[in-house]
Amino acid sequence: MDTREVETRVIMKFKELNIDGRIQDALEKLGYSEATEVQSAVIPELKQERDVIVKAKTGSGKTAAFAIPLLDSVVWEENKPQVLVLTPTRELAIQVKEDFDNIGTYKKIKTLAIFGKQPYKFQTQDLKQKTHVVVATPGRILDHLQRGTFDASHLKYLVLDEADEMLNMGFVEDIETILEATPENKQTVLFSATMPATIKKIASNYMQDDYMHIQIKSKTKTASTVSQYYFETRPTNKFETLCRILDSRQMENTIIFCKTKRSVDEVVASMQQKHYDVEAMHGDLSQNQRTNTLKRFKSGHIQYLVATDVAARGIDVDNISHVINYEMPQDEELYIHRIGRTGRANKKGEAYSLVTNREKNFLMSIQKRTNSHIEKLDVPSNQEIFDQKIKELLFDVQEEMLKSHKDVFMDTIKDIPHDMRNDVMATLLSMCYQQRVGFDYQEETSAGSQYDRIFMTCGSMDRINVKDVIEFLTKYGKIKSSDIGDITIKRKFTFVDIKPKVSHKAMKGCQKQKLNQRRVQLEYASDR
């Protein structure tokens, strides 16, 4: 086994990697010209037909690192699957398939995504057709192997993507069974964010003795041109908090990041309802839709773009003024990747993160590991929103005055009694103001509510009362009774309001302790 740790960025153009011209054309169309660290390290090794283990986190460009060389090697004339990619989740399988489709588009490579909760009938029909690449979850592809509906005999390449996650989900036996059913002379590629003992065991049992172990060293620096801030909020207040930020600040091109496609669609729908200039960017959109959306965003016809991390990879815009983490990413590298979208070309940029109480520790760890300063800001007040919108309104009025469209209304103004003109002007400003404000701000908001709502797995059927709950929380959670708000006891569960500053402490101390002989689990309620 050889080991290589990639510490600094290797500047390498895709055209330097000796890959099929059709794939180069596809990469150029996608806006990719320069390889990332993981791509620069992995692609040459895979082209030499070596087995490779890669330690790299999500967001490093790892999918293209194996998709490019494998698609380069795939023989179009062969009808049976040549590449099998195993992923832990349906969502990742779809994303990987999409990447293969995009990169292999000019080579006319056929890729299938196979996962659970789909009819076997249709999957079986698809597998009977000419297919070059299969991207699948372990459980479902194993079912097809056992049914004889998936032919693994012609496989030349096997990829285990996010291997540690698959093992954590209990797929180790499925993976080993799949590995044993595939040809011995195949090339095996394993990607993982961590290297537990189980992965090392798989490597020793199923990979070539001279496999290459590549470690991509994490980036821990953020751009000095990006100012970083965060707002504390509750999940139930998160959209209002977002609107308060947008309405109280002057923003140009802004990217708002969410974790999932569903979240993107929900945020976009809510923003469009409030008349923001916004569109979505995620993997369910066609390439044509994404291209057109990106053009409108670059030209300024769209002010806000809500995107997933995967979809944002193809966004190359230099004039992004703000990045907003509506949902926090899963690791610090993705955070760095996100905020690096602004502050380019020596321009100043700002990054905002909306964090709940339990996400704050994660944000602080990012601050520590990146050696940066993330400043806490108060959620913008109604007065701040009013000041900003009136400022914008008066500026637009001045702009309109220069166009001389006001003359036709002069006679109307003369007809208004002199003592009513101020009232009329104020009323018109009020009407215009309401049209410009995205959210119906009824009252002030802060870092959230006075309390966090905690869900407990015990209820009246366990013969507990309010006093029992308070004693339980103060004893094991080490909090004061004054930190506890409303307590709602249902038959099988209980809701408790606890002050945010001690809610995490209380949950940690009480977790799996016994209340009236019942071992209790605690978690933040969905409406927290």
Considering the domain architecture, whether residues 209 and 247 belong to the same structural domain is answered as no
372-399 pLDDT, tens digit per residue, is: 899 999 999 888 888 887 787 777 777 7
Considering the domain architecture, whether residues 181 and 302 belong to the same structural domain is answered as no
Higher pLDDT, 133 or 410: 133
The last residue of a domain, from among 387, 421, 447: 447
Q: Is 417 helix (H, G, I), strand (E, B) or coil?
A: coil
Q: Is 455 helix (H, G, I), strand (E, B) or coil?
A: strand
Q: What pLDDT shows up at residue 404?
A: 65
Considering the domain architecture, whether residues 200 and 56 belong to the same structural domain is answered as yes
Higher pLDDT, 122 or 220: 122
For residue 527, pLDDT over 70 is answered with no
For residue 252, pLDDT over 50 is answered with yes
For residue 185, pLDDT over 80 is answered with yes
Higher pLDDT, 395 or 294: 294
The kind and range of the H/E element at 111 are strand 111-114
Considering the domain architecture, whether residues 151 and 287 belong to the same structural domain is answered as no
Considering the domain architecture, whether residues 226 and 212 belong to the same structural domain is answered as no
Higher pLDDT, 336 or 519: 519
Q: Phi/psi of residue 221, each to 5°?
A: -120, 145
Query: For position 282, which CATH number holds?
Result: 3.40.50.300
φ/ψ region of 228 (left if φ > 0, alpha if ψ in -120 to 50, else beta) reads beta
Tell me which residue of 467, 447, 236 sits closest to 494, measured CA to CA: 467
pTM: 0.52
Query: For position 491, which CATH number holds?
Result: 3.30.70.330
For residue 403, pLDDT over 80 is answered with no
Considering the domain architecture, whether residues 347 and 468 belong to the same structural domain is answered as no
450-507 pLDDT, tens digit per residue, is: 678 899 999 988 999 988 999 999 999 999 988 888 788 888 889 898 988 899 899 9
Considering the domain architecture, whether residues 394 and 427 belong to the same structural domain is answered as yes
Domain that holds residue 356: 220-447
In whole angstroms, what is the distance from residue 85 CA to residue 71 CA?
12
In whole angstroms, what is the distance from residue 361 CA to residue 505 CA?
12
In whole angstroms, what is the distance from residue 158 CA to residue 152 CA?
10
For residue 369, pLDDT over 90 is answered with no
Higher pLDDT, 225 or 324: 324
In whole angstroms, what is the distance from residue 38 CA to residue 32 CA?
14
Q: What pLDDT shows up at residue 27?
A: 87
83-112 pLDDT, tens digit per residue, is: 999 998 887 888 899 889 999 999 999 999
Q: Phi/psi of residue 322, each to 5°?
A: -140, 145
**Mean pLDDT over each residue of the chain, to the nearest integer:** 84
For residue 350, pLDDT over 90 is answered with yes
Q: Phi/psi of residue 285, each to 5°?
A: -85, 145
Q: What pLDDT shows up at residue 8?
A: 40
In whole angstroms, what is the distance from residue 157 CA to residue 181 CA?
13
Which residue type sits at 37? E
The angle at the Cα of 281, spanning 277 to 282, to the nearest 5 degrees, equals 150
Considering the domain architecture, whether residues 172 and 275 belong to the same structural domain is answered as no
Number of domains in the chain: 3
34 - beta bridge partners?
13
Which residue type sits at 8? T
Q: Are 384 and 360 in contact (CB under 8 A)?
A: no
For residue 60, pLDDT over 70 is answered with no
> What tokens appear for 213 in the block?
């172990």
Listed in sequence order, the DSSP H helices in 51-110 are 62-73, 90-103
For residue 59, pLDDT over 60 is answered with no
> What tokens appear for 93 in the block?
């399988």
> Quick one: how far is CA 59 from the chain centroid?
10
Q: What pLDDT shows up at residue 351?
A: 95
Which residue type sits at 465? N
Tell me which residue of 446, 466, 447 sits closest to 456, measured CA to CA: 466
Q: Residue 1 has what DSSP assignment?
A: -
Considering the domain architecture, whether residues 259 and 301 belong to the same structural domain is answered as yes
Q: What is the largest CA-CA distance in the chain?
A: 94
Higher pLDDT, 455 or 57: 455
Q: What pLDDT shows up at residue 337?
A: 80
Scan for tokens 């967001």, then name that residue: 59
Scan for tokens 């071992």, then name that residue: 519
Considering the domain architecture, whether residues 144 and 62 belong to the same structural domain is answered as yes
For residue 221, pLDDT over 70 is answered with no
Considering the domain architecture, whether residues 102 and 239 belong to the same structural domain is answered as no
The last residue of a domain, from among 390, 422, 447: 447
Mean pLDDT calculated for residue range 186-198: 87
For residue 358, pLDDT over 80 is answered with no
In whole angstroms, what is the distance from residue 82 CA to residue 225 CA?
46
Considering the domain architecture, whether residues 436 and 471 belong to the same structural domain is answered as no
In whole angstroms, what is the distance from residue 6 CA to residue 229 CA?
31
The last residue of a domain, from among 216, 245, 269: 216
Q: Phi/psi of residue 379, each to 5°?
A: -60, 130
Please tell me the least confidently modeled range out of 87-96, 166-175, 437-446: 437-446
In whole angstroms, what is the distance from residue 339 CA to residue 349 CA?
9
